[in-house]
Structure 1
């Protein structure tokens, strides 16, 4: 963090900031978000300066949020890949390697959004479903190994929406409902 503060200080003192900007604005805010494998750390920096260009930097105490522990979901996925053919007694296939890669990518995306840990289920055709459910909502993202996922959102018996998206991206509608109803905020 000190390196960032020093870089901002140098930028202000080196006159790389246009003089017109300094006359119009007396402070600049910078929001920083750092992601590690276990947490998200957020912090804001404010650079306040006088009409003469003298600068002072204020750094707020960082806010740290720990990522949900998705290890159970990841472990379930590994079990699905290692299943034997006919695991269900009806010719069920293990999870396809491509579907497993897509699910692993998607799990990282939703975990970084601080979404609650989902259930992970397997279909007899080698597909994998990621499911969030509570007393009101049912949300499912289904992966069949064909470069992306399809999703479905319902409230009780009422259909809300569905769609398709690449595995490395959280669809906007899906992000909205997961963020509103399946976070611990």
Structure 2
């Protein structure tokens, strides 16, 4: 084959496989959720030292992340502080297990966050810690979608709160000296 024929053949091959494309590939600002890998799941607990109060348990759980494709949770667990406690010596750390149809919960957590506008801020309460877990009690903490000013989109939290509560556990957390 002559050199000109090799050049034309190589150019045609590049066009066929797309290496000569003039259009840049569009990239989503939201990373695709990882595929489910059971090693990504961990025991769902409200008693981890990095969930709001250093409890001295020595347990550290993973940060919130996108819900993995293929993960089918059977329950949602919320963890949040309560004003109840023992005369100022303890605080209540309330763990609630919710069961039911989780499709609205999954849809609300999968809504992408808006691109962050650094010129605005928001002042709001923190949402409760949420776990999505399977029947074994293994799960993951999903990211709560946010608006452009960093405000949490409470639709996901309200979807969890709309599910029936099947169990409530109040952990008494010592406070003060």
TM-score normalised by length of structure 2: 0.22
TM-score normalised by length of structure 1: 0.21
Q: Which structure's residues are more often strand, by fraction?
A: 1
Flag the structure with more relative contact order, 1 or 2, with Cα contacts below 8 A and sequence separation at least 6: 2
